[in-house]
Amino acid sequence: MPRLRGILPLRARGDLVLPRVERRAGHGVPPPNLSLAGGNLSQRALASGAEPVLDRAALVAYRRRLADLDVELATAQENADLATHQRANDEREQLLAEVSRATRPDGGSRRFANTATERARKAVTARIRDAIRRVSDAHPELGTHLDRTVRTGTTCRYEPDRTAK
Res. 1 pLDDT band, cuts 50 70 90: very low
Q: Is position 76 within any domain?
A: yes
Same domain membership, residue 119 and residue 45 = yes
What average pLDDT score do residues 88-100 get? 92
Measured distance CA(38)–CA(75) in Å, rounded: 61
Same domain membership, residue 153 and residue 118 = yes
pLDDT at 30: 63
The count of structural domains within the chain is: 2
Same domain membership, residue 45 and residue 118 = yes
Q: Express each pLDDT in 47-88 by its tens digit.
A: 445 567 777 888 889 889 999 999 999 999 999 999 999 999
Q: How many degrees, rounded to 5, is the angle at CA 160 between CA 118 and CA 6?
A: 85
Res. 44 pLDDT band, cuts 50 70 90: very low
Residue 26 has pLDDT above 70, yes or no: no
What average pLDDT score do residues 129-156 get? 88
pLDDT at 34: 59
Percentage of residues in the chain with pLDDT exceeding 90?
24
Same domain membership, residue 146 and residue 65 = no
Same domain membership, residue 119 and residue 87 = no
pLDDT at 42: 46
Same domain membership, residue 19 and residue 37 = yes
What average pLDDT score do residues 23-48 get? 55
Largest CA distance in the chain: 80
Res. 163 pLDDT band, cuts 50 70 90: low
> Is-above-0.85 flag for pTM?
no
Q: Is position 165 within any domain?
A: no
Q: Domain range holding 25?
A: 13-49+114-158
Q: Is position 3 within any domain?
A: no
Whole-number mean pLDDT of the chain? Answer: 75
Provide DSSP, 40-104: ---HHHHHTT--BSS-HHHHHHHHHHHHHHHHHHHHHHHTT-HHHHHHHHHHHHHHHHHHHHHB-
pLDDT at 140: 92
